[in-house]
Amino acid sequence: MYAIQEGETRHTTCVFCDGGCPLLVTKREGEIIIAPANPNAPAICSKAINWKEYCFHPDRITTPLKNIVTRTEPVFEQISWDEALDEIADKLSALVTQYGPETLAVAEMTGNTGMGGITRRFMNHLGTPNYFSPLLLCVGNTAQVHRTVNGWYNTANWNVADLIVYFGQDRSTERWPRELYNLKAARERGAKLIVVDPRTTKTAALADEHLAIRYGTDAALLLAWINVIVEEDLYDHDFVEEQTIGFAELSERVQQYPPERAAEICGIDAEAIRRTARMYAHAQAAIIPWGVVGDMQANSTSVIRAQAILRSICGFMGKSEFALGPSIGAKSNTEIADFGALPQEQRAKQIGMDRYPLMSFAGLACYEEAYRAIGLDIPSDIATCSATAHPQSVFKAMETGEPYPVKAFISVGNNTIMSYADQEQAIRGFAACELVVVYEHWMTPTAQLADYVLPGDAWTERNTLGPGIDIAPAATFNQGFSEPIGECKDWYFVIKGLADRMGMEDAFPWADNYEYFDYVLEDAHVTYAEAYTKPALPKKLAAPGKFLTPSGKIELYSSVLEKLGCDPLPSYIEHAEPDWDQSRYPFVIYAGTRDDASYNTNHHQIPSLRTRLPEPVVFVNPEDAEAYKLATGSWCRVTTSHGSVEMQVLADTAQPQGTLRIPHGWWKPERPQGLNNGLSGAVLYNDGVLFCGDDWNLDPVQGLPNLRGGIHARIEAI
C-alpha cells in the first residue's frame, strides 16, 4: 500500500529531528531517491539520507514483545497483536477499577507517531489527566509562556527579517538545515546577526555581534535590553499604547536591570549591551527565532517572556513576528482530543498542578473567556503542552504513591526515562509500576523497563494527516513510500484496539486511520483521498489580528501568571545551588548539546552515523584540559552533586574556560540490556544522571529542570 512505484514522486516530511525538512521522494530505475522539496533551499541531512539503515536495521522491533521475567533482568518473547492488546486492556482495566482512571500516565511525542489528539482523546474518555510530552522541554513550554504575553506561540517571518537574534542556536547542514538556508538567505539580503552564546560556534563566528554571556544569564541580558529601549525612548509608542497593557509596571521592573548590572551578571561589557539593544530597536523587521536554549534554565519563564516582550514593545508583532492564533476548517488536535469528555473532578487530580499550574488544566482555564468570545468552546492545546501533568511529580507519584498511586504508564514514541532530569527517579518510578507499555522502534532503555513493547511504524512507512501539534493554520499531508517492516503498526491501530477492548468504542468509531482522517477533514468539505497528494491544506484563522489573552491585548504584565500566583513580570534570579563547594565542583556545566550524528537519544544504532561520533564527548577548554591532565580522546568522569557520567574528552577552544559542555541522550544500543546491566549504558552516559528534579533546580513557574544555567561540576581522568 505504501511502496512507491517506478517513476512516481511523493511528498513527505522527515521527522528524524524536530527540524521537519520537507522532502520529495522519487523512484527511478528501481532506486528510491529523496531530495529537498525546495531545490533553492536544499535542506536535507545525513539522517534522512540514511533512512534505509534506520528502517531496515536488524535490531528494529518488528513484532509485539512481552517481558516474561523481571524488569531488572528482562526476557522478551514475541506475541501476537491480539494477545498484546487483550492483555494490556485487561491489566489496565483492572488497575483503573482498583485505583481510578488517574492511575494511568502517558508520555507522548506526536511527531514520532504522525498524529496528534487521539491519545488525549483516549485518556479524556478514560478519565485521566496525567499526560505529558518531551515537548515540555522544547517548543511546548515556549508556546505556553508566549501565550501569557500574546495569546499564542510566536512565529518568525524569515522572508522579511533584517536582523536575526540567536540565543544559543548553532545551525548547520546537520542541525536544522532548513533554518540554515533561511539564515544564509537573510544574510545575503543584508540582514544583521546577533548571537548570544557563551561558545564561539560557527554561527557565532558569522555574527555582527557575538555576546559571549555567562551560562544561564540570558534573562539578565534581555531585561537590560528592555531597560535601554525604555530609558532611551526607542520603543514603538503607538503599538505599546494601542496593543499592550502593563508598560508602566514593566518599565518600573527593568529599572532594576541597567546595563552595568547586567554586564556584571553576564560577564560582558555594558556598552555591548547598549549597542545591541539599539540595533534591535532600530531594525525594521527583527526576529528572535525559537531555540531550545531558553527552555531549560532556572529563569526559563523570564527568558521566554522577555523575548516576547521585546518583540512587542518594538512593534515587530504583525510585521516580522506573528501570533496567529487557532484556526478553523479541518479539526484541530484540540477538537480531536475531546477535552469536554474529561470531568472537572478528574482535571483537578492532575499531578503537579498545585505547584506548577501554568501548563496544567488550571493554566488552560485562564483563557476560556477569550476563546468563548470568538466562538470556540475550549482554549487550544498549543503544541500538546497546554494541559499537562508535571513530569517530575508524575515520576515521584509512580515511585511513592503520592498524591495517589500511578500504577500504569504508556510511553509513545519517546525514550521517556532519558528525557528529563533525575533519571534515577524515573527509573524507580517505572520499576514500581504494575503495567508499562512502550510503543517504539528500538529496545531503548525505556523499552527495557516495559512489560509490553509494541512495534511502531516509521515516517517513511505511513500516510499521515497533521500537523501533530496545534500551532500552524494548515492541515498537512505526508506520504509514505516504503512498506511497514514486519508487524509494525500505526498508532491509531493501537489506540483503536485498546479503546474497543475497554468499552470506549463509541469514542473511536472509525475502522482505521483513513476513516479517521476523513472525519478530521469533514469540516473542510474534502476527503483524505481528494487532498493527500498536496503537501498542505490552508485553514482559516479563527481570530485574525486578535490577541487571545484575558485582556485581549499583549500583556507585558501577565494577568494569567498573577492569577496563578506567579510573578507577572520577568526577572533574573541568580541560581542558588545548595551546599555548593567550589573546591569540589569548580566548573559550570551546560547540558543538552545535540550531536550532528544523532538526535536526542535516537540514531546511535545507525552505523554510518555512529562511526562519525562513536563515543559521548565532553567539551573542555584546552587550558582546563592541560591543567587537569585530560588529553583529547581520553576518558574522564564528570560529576555533579547529584551524579556522575563518563565521557571522552574533547579539547575545544570554543568552550569558555571554567565550563564543561556535555551531550544529551547518550546510551549504547550494543551494550547488554536490563536494569542490572545499566540499561545499555543509559545510567553511565546520559545527562539526566547529573541533574536532580528537586524544586530548587526547577523553573519556579514551569517546573522544568535547569540544565543550562549554573549547575556546578568537576572533571577527572579515569
Grid coordinates standing for 143?
508556546
Sign of CA dihedral 209, 215, 219, 220: negative
CB 479 within 8 A of CB 532: yes
714 C-beta neighbours (distance < 10 Å), count: 20
Sign of CA dihedral 540, 545, 547, 551: negative
401 C-beta neighbours (distance < 10 Å), count: 13
Burial group, residue 231, by CB count within 10 angstroms (0-12, 13-18, 19+): middle
CB 681 within 8 A of CB 706: no
CB 308 within 8 A of CB 225: no
In angstroms, the Cα distances linking 614 to 170, 295, 654, 681 are 22, 28, 21, 13
Give the CA dihedral 623, 626, 627, 630, nearest 10 degrees: 120
- In 498-572, which ranges are E strands? 536-538, 540-541, 554-555
Q: Pairing relation of β-strands 635-639 and 644-651?
A: antiparallel
Indicate the SS3 state at residue 66. Answer: strand
53 C-beta neighbours (distance < 10 Å), count: 16
Phi, psi of 145 (to 5 degrees): -75, -40
d(CA 224, CA 514): 53
Q: How far is CA 151 from the centre of its chain?
A: 19
Crossing angle between the packed helical segments 259-266 and 218-231, to the nearest 10 degrees: 160
CB 90 within 8 A of CB 334: no
Residue type, 146: H
Sign of CA dihedral 675, 137, 139, 131: positive
Phi, psi of 435 (to 5 degrees): -150, 120
Single out the catalytic residue among 18, 162, 518, 567.
Answer: 18
For residue 518, indicate whether it is catalytic: no
Nearest CA-CA partner of 136 in 576, 688, 712, 699: 699
Nearest CA-CA partner of 455 in 86, 66, 125: 66
CB 612 within 8 A of CB 598: no
Nearest CA-CA partner of 209 in 303, 285, 299, 274: 274
d(CA 254, CA 220): 10
| R_g over Cα of the chain | 24
Nearest CA-CA partner of 336 in 492, 143, 543, 135: 492
| CB proximity list for 97: less than 8 A, separation 6 or greater | none
Grid cell 517548543 — which residue? 139
d(CA 247, CA 229): 12
Residue type, 165: V
DSSP annotation string for 293-344: GGGSSTTHHHHHHHHHHHHHHTT-BTTTEE----EESSPPHHHHHTGGGS-H
Indicate the SS3 state at residue 441. Answer: coil
CB 109 within 8 A of CB 410: no
Q: Pairing relation of β-strands 192-196 and 321-322?
A: unpaired
Active site amino acids: 18
